[in-house]
Amino acid sequence: MRKLIPISIAAAAALFATSGVAVGYQVMEKTVELSVDGVPTTVTTFRSDVGDLLEQQGLEVGPNDVVAPAAETPIDDGDRVTVQYGRQVTVDVDGTEQTHWTTATTVGEALALLQIKAEGAELSTSRSAGIGREGLAFSVDTLKELTLVVGGKKRTVESTAATVREVLADADVETDRDDRVHPALGTEVEDGTKITVVRVEVKDVKKTSAVAHKTVRQETDDLDKGTTRVQTEGKDGERTTVITQTRENGKVVKEKEKSSEVTTEPVDEVVLVGTRVEAPAPAPRKQSSSSSSSGSSSGGSSSSDSDTDSGSDDSSSSSSGSDAVWDRLAQCESGGNWSINTGNGYYGGVQFSAQTWKAYGGKGLPHENSKAEQIRIAKKLQAAAGWGQWPHCSAKLGLR
C-alpha cells in the first residue's frame, strides 16, 4: 500500500504562494479580437478597457473614426473590438460637388452609406475601387429620365448626361444657330427635365406674279369708222418677288419682302380704231326728155350735147388732178407701188379698201388692176367725196 509522506508547513506555504502568483497572472491576461477596417487580428492584453487596448496597439482614433465598443468600455477575455477609420470622400453628383466623411472602404459602400442614387449611373471609377485613409474624389452621373420635344415630336429618353447640351448629343439631336433650345444648352438637368428644340428655318423664297399689259387705242383714218384692228398684240409681263420666310417646325410664322422687281416688261396692246367715213356712190346721171328728143331729131343738138358732156369730163378731170398728182399721192400712200398688197386691208397705189373700190365700179382687187384703172376709179372717188379720202397725204401734198 502507498504511504503518505507528510509535507512540512513551510513547504506547503511556499507551494501556496507560488500557486497564487500563477493564478493571479492567469486572471489579469485577456485574449481579444481586434478588427481594424474589417481586418481581424487576435491580441493578448492586460489592459482594462478599450482605450487602453488601442493605446497598447498604437492605434490613434479621431472624431470621424468609429470605435465599438466605446473607448471607456471595460474589456473581458474573448471580447471583440472594432475600429473603422473615417475617410473624406468628395463626390461630384451631376455637376454638384459634395464632401462627406465615411467609414466605407470601397466606392460601392460609400454610395450606399451616402444614399446616392447610383443604379444605372456612370461613375468615374469602379464601384469596387478601394478608399484609402487618405480619402478619394470621384464623380457620379446619375441615370435620369428626360422628355425631349424636337421639331414638335415628343419622346422619352434615359441619360446620365449632366447638361442639356450633353443630353442632346447623346440623343443624336443636332441644332444650328437658328434653332431655339429650352432650357439653354448649358443648363444642368435632373430627373424629369423637359427639353424643347424648336426647328427654325430661315430662307429666301422667290414668287412670281403677272404684270398686266395695257391696251392703247389709236384712231386712224386708214380704217373705216366702226372697225378696229390690233396692230400690236398685248403680252403680260412678270414680277419676281424675293421673300425672307421664317418657319418653325415646318410652319411659316413670318414673311418679309426682301426685294421686288419687274423681270419681264409687259407689252402694250395697240388697237387701231377707224375714223374714215366712206362716201356713198354717186347716183347715175339721168338725161332730160327734151335732150333725148333733140338728140334724136337733130345731130347738132347731139353734137352740142356731146360737146357739153366733153366739157363736163374735162372739168371733172381737172378737179380730180392730173396723173402726175396721182403719182405723187401714190408715192405718199404706198411708196409709188401700184401693185402692193400690204395685208392690212388696203390695196394698190392709193390704198383703196375693197369695199370702196367695188362701190365705184372697180373689178377684182385694186392692186390687180392697172395704174390707169386705179387712177380712173380714184378720180371718181375724189369727184364724189373730195381729197379728204386721203387726209394725211392730200394735206401733205397741199391738195386741200
Nine cell digits for residue 146: 428626360
Is a pLDDT exceeding 60 seen at residue 32?
yes
**Residue 75 resides in a domain:** yes
Say whether both 75 and 125 belong to one domain.
no
Residue 371 has pLDDT above 90, yes or no: yes
Q: For the segment 185-203, what is each residue's pLDDT rounded down to a tens digit?
A: 999 898 899 999 999 999 9
Q: Is 163 inside a domain boundary? A: yes
Q: Secondary structure of 100-121 in the HEC alphabet?
A: EEECCCEHHHHHHHCCCCCCCC
Q: How far is the C-alpha of 22 from the C-alpha of 16, rounded, in Å?
A: 10
Q: Is the pLDDT reported for residue 8 higher than 70?
A: no
Is residue 104 one of the residues assigned to a domain?
yes
CATH number, position 238: 2.20.230.10
The CATH number assigned to the domain holding 78 equals 3.10.20
Q: What is the mean pLDDT of residues 16-38?
A: 65
Distances (CA, A) of 374 to 339, 348, 350, 367: 10, 8, 8, 8
Same domain, 58 and 103: no
Cβ-Cβ contacts under 8 Å for 157 (sequence gap 6 or more) = 145, 146, 147, 148, 167, 170, 171
Domain residue limits at 353: 322-397
Short-list 47, 104, 39, CA closest to 79:
47
**Of 166, 198, 230, which residue constitutes the final position of a domain?**
198
Query: Considering the domain boundaries, does residue 296 fall inside one?
Result: no
pLDDT of residue 320: 63
pTM value is 0.46
Instruction: Examine the fold and report which residue of 121, 141, 161 is the final residue of a domain before the chain moves on.
Output: 141
| Edge-to-edge strand list for the sheet holding 66-68 | 39-45, 30-36, 80-84, 66-68
Residue 286 lies in a domain: no
Distance in angstroms (rounded) separating the CA atoms of residues 85 and 350: 131
Q: Tell me: pLDDT of 307 over 60.
A: no
pLDDT higher than threshold 50 for residue 119: yes
Whether residue 188 is found in the same domain as residue 238: no
pLDDT higher for 211 or 223? 211
Q: Is residue 36 part of a domain?
A: yes
> What CATH code is carried by the domain that includes residue 353?
1.10.530.10
Average pLDDT over residues 252-265: 94
> Same domain, yes or no, for 172 and 213?
no
Same domain, 227 and 245: yes
pLDDT of 16 over the 60 cut: no
Query: According to the model, what pLDDT value does residue 279 have?
Result: 58
Residues whose CB is less than 8 angstroms from the CB of residue 11 and which lie 6 or more positions away in sequence, other chains included: none
Count of the separate structural domains present in the chain: 5
Asked if 246 and 258 sit in the same domain, the reply is yes
- Per-chain mean pLDDT for the chain: 82
The predicted model gives 85-98 an average pLDDT of 90
**Are 210 and 192 in a shared domain?**
no
Residue indicated by cell numbers 502568483: 21
51 is a domain residue: yes
Does some domain include residue 281? no
